[in-house]
Amino acid sequence: MRELHVRTDARPRSPAATVTDYSFRRPESVLVVVYTVDHQCLLLKRVSPPDFWQSVTGTLAWGEEPADAAARELREETGLAPLGLHDAGITRSFPILAEWRSRYSPQVDENVEHLWYLKIQAPLDITLNDAEHTAYRWLPLGVAIDTVASWTNREALERLRE
């Protein structure tokens, strides 16, 4: 089931906040959409699964705030500085895919994702983390929407049309 939450406070309580088995991944993540003033969108191709294109994403470390995770993931996955990183104030919940279930506590079946945006002037060269991504592209907004693999990423890109 798709859930959309617009945060009204600085620190939302999420279902992920109640799970604290540190031997597993925290079921909370960030999605950072990087785009230019003329709506060229950065997409990264994951190592696995093949042909899985996405914006910058990553799991929050235990005890980490979403803002810190968004900045960290942006630096780790692209080499870009987080100057101008903007919290969209939106969280989404979605089922964890079967191929990634073993990373999470057995009592967890959903992930909570925090949406962030970074608007820059023009496409930049990206420094990929080879352990996570094999390629990157700057694509026009419509093509990016058609290319991303996840519905949350698609919705985040579609918000740029507003």
pLDDT tens digits, residue range 68-83?
999 999 999 999 999 9
The reported pLDDT for the residue numbered 18 is 54
CATH class of 3-161: alpha beta
pLDDT per residue as tens digits for the range 104-153: 999 899 999 999 999 999 999 999 999 999 999 999 999 999 999 999 99
- For residue 9, pLDDT over 70 is answered with no
The reported pLDDT for the residue numbered 99 is 82
pLDDT per residue as tens digits for the range 23-42: 899 999 999 999 999 999 99
User: Which three-class secondary structure state does DSSP give residue 69?
Assistant: helix
What kind and span of H or E run contains 142? helix 141-147
What residue segments make up the domains of the chain, in order of their start? 3-161
**Could you tell me the pLDDT band of residue 20, with boundaries at 50, 70 and 90?**
low
In contact, 29 and 58? CB cutoff 8 Å: yes
Task: Output the pTM of the full model.
Answer: 0.86
| Single-letter amino acid code for the residue at 16 | A
